[in-house]
Structure 1
């Protein structure tokens, strides 16, 4: 028999390796810049639902002025009275609106829904007042707390959410590598405790919320669970690669596209909608609804988060069954 000779692998020249790796890392850096900066750069008012109250002729003039001064920024809905408009804003059916009558232009806003959107509606009211040669006034029907007038507390929840979803999966996986029950119990316990901690900090330290401690805690707990359970499910089903892909998706897509600080409606339409499908965006929407609007507008977000938790449990069960040893043949 003749010994097989193996052909040595050719190693690329060092210069080629350096250039190739540099090009690859530069492409990744460009992608990260696009993901984290482009959504904010392209953010603004687009197809935002606003209400208008006034005589038919005046409403028609307002719509014409809005189309001229802010094309495609607003989607106008008509209301019979100012109270009906206020109720719609508090129910999160519209983001704000304008009451146009003999007294001038009166803007109705909700800074707790989004300070950026409230500012945009107020600025638009000023422009309408100039166009109609009318006085302008504004009322904030769902204001932010005095201790957090810009909404920084809830606006900064994206990173704690992602941290709360990723790190416990790693920690409890290391502690209980052979006990799925204890690992899942640990993740559930941390989700509840994490929700209570975040709500407590927002309420009693930052003053970002003035009421709704328990609803906010529940919303935050559901958000953490909606991140943690899919990640542990991916890890159980597909190993480390599954966890890494899931964690990177939440960190590099879910985080910048969550729109927690301004709401998803302020982001470019396609990106904002996609961000609300992922747990960080849905959790931000649910927390804001629970904190300031008595839960109004949070049902879709709650269902989305619940679906992620169920998906994570299903993946975990499926992965466990895949790893189970086959029964011995008789």
Structure 2
């Protein structure tokens, strides 16, 4: 395997963390379980690239190109095995890749709407956000399944649940920031989600395609965690989605906590006494003409 590692280092310096498996079957299982993004098998018959285009078409292409470079260097034939392929109706993954905008937008809208409508009733606000999230998740899953063909019909409810959790986590976090810190808290939170969380989510390419530090930061925010969870439940039976699910649950819990803290702080503030209007009559001098 030393020659293979040296070949990988020459073909793509620093791009891979090399993990050795005893057999091609073990490598395929690791790709299916999302323990690795892809791999290369080398034996007497040639070089085989094991990829999962459902996880990331970009990474799959990079692994395939690396395997072809190894095969050319060794004068060996190269084959490609897509362990978890994308659906034929959406071979480029454009449906899943376009989730970032509806996710962020879908989180901002209920945070604003329900906190305004139910300004004095946090329970109703949370219920409204939850209802909106469930409906929004179902709509997105329906579009992915029946318009784009990006997911199988059997994955409809898992994807709907993942999207609902993502929308709800983002909306509750923003509503909590608004309740606890006012408009400035909401504005800063929305800007972070839109201008940092969105581009670092890696929904279209996969988080592993981003630089390691930025990819990790993106996965700690709701957009990135939602993208990972949706791919996991849509194509991998949930494998690799536990951390993302816990991250979203943490954001939702933090949002509810901020809502409670803000409501308690508001209740502790004394209400301003109503101001009384007093009319003062100015003396008027009257002059009568005789």
Q: Give the TM-score, by structure 2 length.
A: 0.91
- Secondary structure of the corresponding residue to residue 74 of structure 1: coil
Q: Give the drift of 1:326.
A: 5.8
| Large movers: runs of 4+ above 3 Å | 325-328
- Secondary structure of the corresponding residue to residue 208 of structure 1: coil
Larger Rg: 2
Where does residue 281 of structure 2 map in the other structure? none
Equivalent of 2:7 in 65, 68, 85: 65
Where does residue 286 of structure 2 map in the other structure? none
Count of matched residue positions in the alignment of Structure 1 and Structure 2: 270
Q: Does 1:91 align with 2:33?
A: yes
Q: Give the drift of 1:177.
A: 2.4
Q: Does 1:238 align with 2:181?
A: yes
Q: Give the drift of 1:229.
A: 0.3
Where does residue 187 of structure 1 map in the other structure? 129
Where does residue 151 of structure 2 map in the other structure? 209
- Secondary structure of the corresponding residue to residue 60 of structure 2: helix
Equivalent of 1:144 in 68, 81, 86: 86
Q: Does 1:176 align with 2:118?
A: yes
Q: Give the drift of 1:99.
A: 1.4
Whole-angstrom CA distance in 2 between matches of 1:317 and 1:192: 22
Whole-angstrom CA distance in 1 between matches of 2:30 and 2:41: 13
Where does residue 141 of structure 2 map in the other structure? 199
Whole-angstrom CA distance in 2 between matches of 1:129 and 1:69: 11
Runs (5+) with no aligned partner, structure 2: 272-290
Q: Does 1:284 align with 2:227?
A: yes
- Secondary structure of the corresponding residue to residue 137 of structure 1: strand
Where does residue 172 of structure 2 map in the other structure? 229
Query: How large is the RMSD of aligned CA atoms in angstroms?
Result: 1.3
Q: Does 1:133 align with 2:133?
A: no
Q: Give the drift of 1:299.
A: 0.5
- Secondary structure of the corresponding residue to residue 87 of structure 1: helix
- Secondary structure of the corresponding residue to residue 75 of structure 1: coil
Q: Give the drift of 1:122.
A: 0.5
Equivalent of 2:56 in 111, 114, 127: 114
- Secondary structure of the corresponding residue to residue 203 of structure 2: coil
Q: Does 1:296 align with 2:231?
A: no
Q: Give the TM-score, by structure 1 length.
A: 0.80
Write out per-residue CA displacement over residues 44-73 of structure 1, whole angstroms, 9 at most, x where no aligned residue: xxxxxxxxxxxxxxx221111111221111
Where does residue 17 of structure 1 map in the other structure? none
Residues 77-88 of structure 1 correspond to what in structure 2 (within 5 A)?
77-88=19-30
- Secondary structure of the corresponding residue to residue 106 of structure 1: strand
Whole-angstrom CA distance in 1 between matches of 2:116 and 2:270: 28
Whole-angstrom CA distance in 1 between matches of 2:111 and 2:270: 30
Q: Give the drift of 1:327.
A: 8.5
Q: Give the drift of 1:233.
A: 0.5
Where does residue 274 of structure 2 map in the other structure? none
Where does residue 9 of structure 1 map in the other structure? none
Write out per-residue CA displacement over residues 247-275 of structure 1, whole angstroms, 9 at most, x where no aligned residue: 11111111111110011110111111101
